[in-house]
Amino acid sequence: MTLALPRPVARRFTLRRPRPGLTAAGLVLLVTLAAAAWPSLFAGDPLAADPLRVLEAPSAAHWFGTDQLGRDVFDRVVHGARHSLSIGVAATVIAVGAGILLGVVAGLVHRVADEALSRGFDALAAFPLVLLALLFIAIAGTGTTSLIVAIGIATTPHHARVVRAQTLVVRQAPYVTHAVAFGASRPRLVLRHVLPNVLGPIPVLAMIGLGEAVLIAAGLSFLGLGPQPPSPEWGAMLSEGRGYLHIAWWASLLPGAAVTATVISLTVIGRHVQHRFEGRPS
Amino acid sequence: MRRTRPAVVATALALVLTTACSAPREGTAAAGRPVSGGSLTWAVETEPITFNPHQYAQAKARLLVWNTFEALLTHDTQGGYVPWLSTGHQVSADGRTYTFKLRTDVTFSDGTRFHAEAAKANIDQFSVDGYNPSVRAVQLRNLDRVDVVDPATVVFHLRQPDVLLLDFLSSPQGAQVSPKSLKEAKNLKAGGPDLAGTGPFLLDHYTAGQEVVFTKNPAYNWAPAGAGHTGPAHLDRITYRFLKEPSVRVGALTSGQVQIIEGVPATDEALITANPQLSLSRGLNSGSAYSYYFNTTHAPFDDLRVRQAFREAVDVDAVLTGVYRGSATRAWSVVGPTSPFYDRTLEKTYGGDAAKANRLLDEAGWTARDADGFRTRDGKRLTVRLVQSAPFVRDRRDVLAQAVQAQVKQSAGIDLNVAVVDQGTATQALADGQYEVFDNSRADTDAGAALNLLLHSGGAINRTGFQDPALDELLEQGQAASDQARRKTAYQQVQKLTITDQALILPLYAPADQIAAGTTVGGWGFEPAAGVPASAYDLWLSR
């Protein structure tokens, strides 16, 4: 998810046209956020099982049908929003925080140390994200916390590289060289002059990174490495329902649709924010 | 009136046994006459944790054992013993000396001959420290020594009468392994191609996580009397692919990637029966029912009322209907319903009474509730842990556990914590006592063998931790008596004590195996008595 190439200027004329894609993405995200914030407002108990009503097709009573234990799939998808989003947000916070720290350090320190850090980022970035996360989980064990940390660590190098590049640019800026000339102390230089000016692209990166984190979280939960049953996590629901796919598609397909819609929405909005930030229309 | 009763029971038992065991050689009619040659792929649910029969532990891996190994005895369709590597045996009047006459025409696949010294070496192997201490401590508890009289005669001397010796000698752990390979095998406990047996197939290679391949033993010519044919196996080669996912197995069969599968979930049975190119058959296992055992060594299951409450909190019928679509047979006793020792009077005497469960828990002091709706006592939540070992999870027992988890939460506020973990983690948790519920089923042909392991205070898998001299005494009576009626009386008292009086066990269902195969496959079916899929000896492929 590197920064996009400049688009043709002609796109500027579409600026004020209504954009149904963006609107839809915004709506999906609003609904997801509302579900994550107040799940009980929209849905019943996600753990209430009725063994005599298993794998029932979607109906008025059960909008998304029931799963293999007779739990309401709609209730579970709604409650799952909180699990999936909070894992994504927490992992992104870790990744962005660590990324800023390491990126600024790499951008400011001596060349040898910078080389070492940068090659470290390159080496980590060369691994597929999921593989890195899997490696961490293999060491730390399964569970929600370890899943969050794993995704956070796996996505850190990406943020760190952007911040480092930004730091290098800012370091050469006249106001920084002037501050150095005026004898500003090093902590003051970093906190007052460098940091505020490298943070600009971070919200954009975080937005796009969030979509990615939610996707990886669902993927790892699918493999049974995230929240354990009976937690209503989307990836885990997809996994539990896959054995019944040919007779009850709703038990796995609808949680899968929730993951897809959320991740696409986050990415669409993230891209939009990114283009606005770069002074280009999306 | 009293005299007609045993006859009625015997008839009922015979009926149960014949329906359970009438399955062998199921596919024959569909596929025509047996053909020699060809290779077949069979998708199985469970990957064996060992290929050494002495280390055997998974009922689902039993169908692999008899491909390469054989025992002194096997079973006929009536559940009785028939000679296999022996030609007959005699029991002394005091029940303490078993004299076996052995076949003299049998050769291990490493070229050495099978004789009395080999049979003795196989038993002696269990005396090696760390080899399989549980067999030595339980199954061979009463064995004093094995004497070789001549190459065709071996005598087992017991310290006290023990009819379960015959069950052991017909079980995978009693299978005969070449003494030469017992000495020379590279990794003895894991087994492999270098562990030689006398069976109709040779283990060609094993790829962990994928498959195990057997090739025909052309020298084989000592099939037992009940087998479908004599001489070498029909197939040249058979591959067992490990496909853990039920839907993947069914998909592999319907798409023709494999010709035969075992372990068909109830939800998928319609897919098989609707296809004219496929057929399906089910067999009830012998041994013990799939049950939850309550750990009585610490709270909360050290309290009889909590054990009873857990049992009342589960509506087993509803759970089984949900998970198995009504295809599972509910168990009421730890002894499987096909066993002659099954105590029918236990049926409908407990379970499914949520009000009673709540009353019992209130009495036991678990009166408060926390924010999640679970009961608490002194601020501690009523949590019980079930640790399932992944290699032993079959028949969607993980889903069943989740269904029970939901039931006990909803009806009584009990927090059942379910974790499916690898074998090492599970072994550790059990050794450390970090569990409150233990789940198990055993496919021993004689239920008494299972009860010894599960309930005797010295049993290797006595996970209830329940110790009672009276219970041990009853189990020993059942093991010593040669008279079937006396054994039955003893084992019925065992069941009453553990199920009714002490509520140590929540029996769930009688394990069953399902086989589905294409119509080109013949000779498949279930092992008599054990009720698990039979070996590949009689299998054949038309064309």
CB spacing of B246 vs A243 below 8 angstroms: yes
Asked if residue A18 has pLDDT above 80, the reply is: no
H-helix or E-strand spanning residue A259:
helix A250-277
- Number of CB pairs, chain A paired with chain B, less than 8 A apart: 60
Q: How far is A233 from A239, CA to CA, in rounded Å?
A: 10
CB spacing of A51 vs B323 below 8 angstroms: yes
Do strands B383-389 and B415-421 pair parallel, antiparallel, or not at all (unpaired)?
parallel
pLDDT digits (tens, 9 = 90+) for B265-307: 888 898 899 999 999 999 999 889 999 999 999 999 999 999 9
CB spacing of B406 vs A54 below 8 angstroms: no
CB spacing of B405 vs A247 below 8 angstroms: no
Bridge partner residues of B88 (DSSP): B101
Query: How many Cα atoms within 13 Å fall on the side-chain side of residue A237?
Result: 35
> Nearest Cβ partner of A244 from B267, B318, B321?
B267
> What residues have CB less than 8 Å from B359, skipping those under 6 apart?
none
From chain A residues 220-239, the ones with a CB under 8 A of any chain B CB are 224, 228-230
3-state secondary structure (DSSP) of residue B417: strand
Q: What is the pLDDT of residue B1?
A: 37
Asked if residue A275 has pLDDT above 90, the reply is: no
> What residues have CB less than 8 Å from A6, skipping those under 6 apart?
A280
Peptide bond into B340 cis (omega under 30): no
CA distance B186 to chain A (A): 30
pLDDT digits (tens, 9 = 90+) for B434-486: 999 999 999 888 999 999 999 999 898 999 999 999 999 999 999 999 889 99
* Mean pLDDT for the stretch of residues A36-52: 91
More confident residue, B426 or A180: B426
**How would residue A20 be classed by pLDDT, with cut points 50, 70 and 90?**
confident
CATH class of B33-46+199-285+511-542: alpha beta
The whole-model pTM stands at 0.84
B69-187, CATH topology level: Dipeptide-binding Protein; domain 1 (3.90.76)
Q: Is the dihedral of CA B114, B117, B123, B126 positive or negative?
A: negative
**Contact list, B247 vs chain A (CB under 8 Å):** 242-246
**How would residue A143 be classed by pLDDT, with cut points 50, 70 and 90?**
confident
Between B397-412 and B316-324, two packed helices, what is the crossing angle to 10 degrees? 140
3-state secondary structure (DSSP) of residue B296: coil
Q: Looking at the predicted complex, does its ipTM rise above 0.85?
A: no
pLDDT digits (tens, 9 = 90+) for A185-240: 888 888 888 888 888 888 888 988 899 999 999 999 999 888 888 999 999 999 99
| Whole-number CA gyration radius for chain B | 23
Q: Does B271 touch chain A (CB under 8 A)?
A: yes
Domain range summary for chain B, segments of one domain joined by +: 33-46+199-285+511-542, 69-187, 288-510
Domain range summary for chain A, segments of one domain joined by +: 25-30+63-278
CATH class of B288-510: alpha beta
Q: Nearest 5°: phi and psi at A76?
A: -70, -40
| Whole-number CA gyration radius for chain A | 22
* CATH tag, A25-30+63-278: 1.10.3720.10
From chain A residues 243-262, the ones with a CB under 8 A of any chain B CB are 243-247
pLDDT digits (tens, 9 = 90+) for A96-139: 999 999 999 998 888 898 999 999 999 988 888 889 889 999 89
